[in-house]
Every structure is written in C-alpha cells, then in structure tokens.
Homo-oligomer: A and B are copies of this chain.
C-alpha cells in the first residue's frame, strides 16, 4: 500500500507543486529524508534542509516561499504541522475493537480489572494484578503476582511480566518481550563458581512508553529498573538490572544498557550499540550504530561513534586514515629509507 501525492493533497485540501503521481509509503524527518518518504516543514530553522532533502515530498505552509532550488515536491497546505499530525491520526484508525475477557484465559479472583479491557485466551493474570481502563491484554500474556498495568496500554501476544513490575498508561509492549526477569547478578565464590545474588527489586515502565518485540528488561537487585516516560525501544533491546533509561530516549534494535547505568533523557541510541555498566550518559547524547560506550559522558547533546566511543567527527577522521594505513606505513618506510640515505 502506497499513496500518491495527489491523493494526499486531496485528503489535506492542499495543492501539489510538481508531479502528483509520485508515491510515498512512509514519513521521515526532513533532514533524514529518502525516496518514498513524506516530510514536513513548519519551523523556519529547518528550511535549509528543504533544499537538500531526499524525501519525495514535503508538506509546507501555503504561505511558504522557497528561496533556493529544491529537488523534492511540495504539498502546500493551510498548516503543515497540523496536516502532518492529522495524517498520523488518520492512519492510526486501524481500530482494534477488542473488548471483553475470553473464556480460555486465567484470571485470579483477587485481580482488579477496570472497565473496557480485553484479556485474550491463554493469558494468565495472577493474584493481586491490576489492569487499568481500556487496556488490551492479547492472548498468551503472563502477568505475575501484583503486576500493575495502567490505562489504555496494549500488551501484545506472548508478553511476560514477572511479579511486582509496573507498566504505566498508554504504553505498547510488543510480542515476546520479557519484563522483570532476574538481573544478571552472581557473587564469585572462593572456588571460582558463582552464587546467585537474589534479584528482589522490580521494573517500573512509566507512561507513553513503546517497547518492541523480544526485548528484555531485568528487575533490579534491590530498588527498581526504570524505563522513563515516552521512551521508545526497538526490537531485541536489553535493559539490565538497576538501569535507568531517561525520558523520551529512543534505542534502536539490538542495543543494550548494562547494569546500574543511567542514560539521560532525549538520547538517540543506534542499533547494536552497547552501553557499559555503572556509567552515566548525559542528556541528548547520540550514538552511531554498533558504538560501545565504556565510560560516562558528561557533556550533553554530543554525537559519539565507535568502540570505545568518541566524538563522531573525530572518529570518522581516524576511520578514514585507518582505511589507508597500508599507505601510511609505506610513507614511513619511504622516510626511513630517505633518512638512511641522507645519513649515509
């Protein structure tokens, strides 16, 4: 399914400036545009990106006048930002009208269930669980003793939440994700074997969090592991015991935060990034894919790359030379020869 620019313009009572038969299939930030994507420009600060964006089309205000050449196609609307959020709302009407408790579910008699909830077959709701209004628990979900689920939260099939963990309002947790499994804590004994350190804390997922499929968020040793308000985790993200992922931070697939680390708010963590244990990462930090973060970062809003991670621009400079190390070695060998001749 794709949509033509003409159809979009029609939906938004707007006007296409360019070829309206082109198709888009997703949306993207204007500065990260690509073919097939629709972006929007509402804030003058972002105007320069209009002239370089690779998005197929950009929603702009009717009053907008470009000041340079551009390769994209414009759709002029009354209010570009409002039109963009309207589109998001519109497409989200994939309404899932699931309500009621299916027969083949297990619900302990002490569970507190608010109205308008759904509990699918083969889901297991333990003693003292509470589920808030409008929440949907798909089939084959497990909620351990005392788990709290807020309002309008969706738990997709196969989610497992261990005892005492808390999930906020308006959260989405995708299939196969495990919340509250034991932290990885073992005390080394004199004979080089390990003794389990009991993991008696819990996990607290705040409001407006989305967690992808097959993620793991471990319970704290003591206290809580936190996933703060508005955090978005992609698939297969690991959050270890006693970690704290700051509000509105996003982490891409297969990344992980090790034990007791505190990631600040508004961070952007690339795919397969590893954040080491017992460190603190400043607000707004961004990490390129596969970076390894071994030490605390105190400067906010930095961009980092590599293992061990350092400033992305510096890293790319070093990386460029790394690719030419054989030539550099030859130049040094040449110098050695010349010196020898000069001395000789």
Query: Does A325 sit within 8 A of B, measured CB to CB?
Result: yes
Number of copies: 3
- A332 and B328 within 8 A (CB): yes
- B1 and A34 within 8 A (CB): no
* Complex contacts, A230 vs chain B, CB 8 Å: 193-194
CA distance A220 to B307 in the complex (A): 32
* A184-B235 contact, Cβ under 8 Å, with A25-B221, A34-B260: yes
- B318 and A325 within 8 A (CB): yes
Closest to A279 in B: B34
- B175 and A242 within 8 A (CB): no
Stretch at the interface among A14-22, A61-69, A154-162: A154-162
CA distance A250 to B185 in the complex (A): 11
CA distance A104 to B103 in the complex (A): 11
Chain A residues with a Cβ closer than 8 Å to the other chain, count: 121
Contact of A338 (CB < 8 Å), options: B42, B122, B139, B343: B343
Bitwise, A267-305 to B at CB < 8 A (1) or not (0) is 000011010101000000000011010100000000000
- B321 and A317 within 8 A (CB): no
- A174 and B185 within 8 A (CB): no
- B253 and A258 within 8 A (CB): yes
CA distance A144 to B160 in the complex (A): 18
Query: Does A130 sit within 8 A of B, measured CB to CB?
Result: no
Bitwise, A156-199 to B at CB < 8 A (1) or not (0) is 11101010000000001011101001101111101011111110
- B232 and A194 within 8 A (CB): yes
Stretch at the interface among A70-78, A109-117, A210-218: A210-218
- A140 and B142 within 8 A (CB): yes
Bitwise, A214-258 to B at CB < 8 A (1) or not (0) is 111010111100000010101110101110000010101110101
The residues of A with any CB-CB pair to B shorter than 8 Å are: 1-3, 24-27, 29, 34, 36, 42-43, 81, 84-85, 88, 91-92, 94, 102, 104, 106, 120-122, 124, 138-140, 142, 144, 156-158, 160, 162, 172, 174-176, 178, 181-182, 184-188, 190, 192-198, 200-201, 208, 210, 212-216, 218, 220-223, 230, 232, 234-236, 238, 240-242, 248, 250, 252-254, 256, 258, 260, 266, 271-272, 274, 276, 278, 289-290, 292, 294, 306-308, 310, 314, 317-319, 321-326, 328-329, 331-332, 335-336, 338-339, 342-343
Nearest first, the 7 closest Cβ-Cβ pairs linking A and B are A26-B221, A178-B213, A142-B157, A181-B213, A216-B235, A25-B222, A92-B198
| Besides A26-B222, A158-B158, A184-B232, 14 other A-B contacts (C-beta < 8 A) | A26-B260, A88-B198, A121-B124, A176-B214, A176-B216, A193-B248, A196-B210, A213-B218, A236-B254, A253-B258, A258-B289, A318-B325, A321-B326, A335-B335
